[in-house]
């Protein structure tokens, strides 16, 4: 435990120094193919390390239960800091170090538990594998994720979109508003709104809240807002590019399966043993 605290103390001191001394985290540098290569390197590198040197300090550190608690505690503290901030941004050196450590640790724990006989092995694989995929999809996939907003009106087709920083770009597809329908509750709040759009002057598409349109395997269109007048003349469409959504989505569904098994199968074996001790009056 003390060794773990020392090593992670040094590691996160480095993270803090980077956060304080270096300029903003260069997220774009880690865009594909760099993130893909790093993920591949981590997956194969840790596998080889575990096979070739199972007793090495690095393997013991990364698969230690103390590491789990230390990293989770740091994540709690980081979340609390973010939660109390008025404009939180997890894109920073600190979170880069934290999520890198969490991913490597989870990968090592997965290798250690998924390939040996153990009680509730399927549950272990679903929970840890799912969490690993979700973490990889969101953390490694973040540099490839982008969004743009397009004001779309009825007058003419538009390709002009805006980044969250108000940067202007031109998309390869054009959109034109054909029809917009909004209904209101008696108290004036919007009940529902939907837009009929013309994509590339050829294809009719319908957009409403909670019902995005898949433009391609990586891009989705969302209806996010409209002109708040009795007869709206334009609506705001958001284009989200998220190539890693399949990795993230798979991770989420695996984790949901693991939760179901956690509920059905109950307590893990180790806890049951300690439960019996506790029932006899012993301390855990």
Partner 1 sequence: MTWTEFPWFAAAAILLWTGGAVCALRSRKDFSTGAAWLTATGLCAFAAFIILFWMSLQRPPLRTLGETRLWYSFFLMLAGLLTYCRWHHRWLLLFSTVLTLVFTLMNILKPEIHDQSLMPALQSYWFVPHVTVYIFAYSVMGCAFLLAIAGWVKHTERYRPAIDRLTCIGMAFLTAGMLSGALWAKDAWGHFWNWDPKETWAAATWCLYLIYLHLRLCGKGRRAMLNALLVAGFLCLQMCWYGVNYLPAAQESMHVYY
| Residues of the shown chain interacting with partner 1 in the complex, contacts defined by CB under 8 A | 65-66, 68-69, 72-73, 75-76, 79-80, 82-90, 138, 145, 147, 185, 187, 189-193, 208-212, 220, 222, 224, 238, 240, 242, 245, 248-249, 252, 255-256, 259-260, 262-263, 266-268, 270-271, 274-275, 278-279, 281-284
Nearer to partner 1, 45 or 88 (CB): 88
Taking the complex as a whole, how short is the minimal distance between the CB of residue 99 and partner 1, in angstroms? 12
If 0-12 CB within 10 Å is exposed, 13-18 middle and 19+ buried, where does residue 223 land? buried
- Bridge partners for 87 per DSSP: none
Strands laid side by side in the 190-199 sheet? 203-208, 190-199, 168-184, 158-162, 146-153, 234-241, 219-226, 213-214
Give the shortest CB-74-to-partner 1 separation in angstroms.
9
Separation between Cα atoms, residue 243 and residue 99, nearest integer Å? 19
β-bridge pairing 219-226 and 234-241: antiparallel
User: How far, in Å, CA of 284 to CA of 268, rounded?
Assistant: 15
Are 204 and 195 spatial neighbours (Cβ–Cβ below 8 Å)? no
Q: Quick count: other Cβ atoms within 10 Å of Cβ 254?
A: 20
């Amino acid at each position: 435990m003390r060794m773990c605290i020392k090593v992670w103390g040094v590691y996160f001191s480095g993270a803090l120094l980077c956060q304080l001394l270096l300029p903003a985290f260069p997220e774009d540098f880690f865009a594909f193919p760099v993130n893909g290569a790093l993920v591949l390197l981590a997956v194969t590198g840790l596998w080889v390390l575990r096979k070739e040197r199972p007793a090495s300090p690095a393997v013991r550190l990364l698969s230690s239960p103390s590491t789990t608690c230390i990293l989770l505690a740091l994540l709690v503290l980081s979340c609390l800091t973010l939660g109390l901030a008025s404009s939180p941004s997890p894109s920073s050196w600190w979170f880069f170090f934290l999520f890198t450590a969490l991913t490597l640790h989870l990968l090592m724990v997965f290798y250690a538990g998924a390939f040996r006989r153990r009680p509730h092995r399927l549950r272990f694989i679903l929970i840890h594998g799912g969490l690993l995929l979700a973490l990889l999809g969101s953390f490694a996939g973040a540099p490839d994720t982008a969004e743009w907003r397009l004001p779309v009106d009825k007058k003419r087709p538009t390709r002009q979109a805006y980044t969250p920083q108000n940067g202007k770009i031109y998309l390869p597809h054009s959109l034109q508003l054909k029809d917009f329908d909004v209904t209101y509750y008696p108290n004036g709040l919007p009940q529902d709104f939907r837009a009929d759009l013309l994509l590339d002057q050829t294809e009719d598409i319908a957009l409403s809240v909670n019902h995005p349109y898949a433009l391609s395997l990586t891009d989705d269109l969302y209806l996010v807002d409209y002109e708040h007048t009795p007869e709206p003349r334009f609506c705001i469409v958001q284009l989200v590019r998220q190539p890693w959504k399949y990795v993230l989505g798979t991770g989420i569904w695996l984790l949901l399966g693991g939760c179901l098994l956690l509920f059905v199968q109950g307590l893990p074996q180790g806890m049951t043993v300690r439960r019996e001790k506790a029932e006899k009056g012993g301390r855990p």
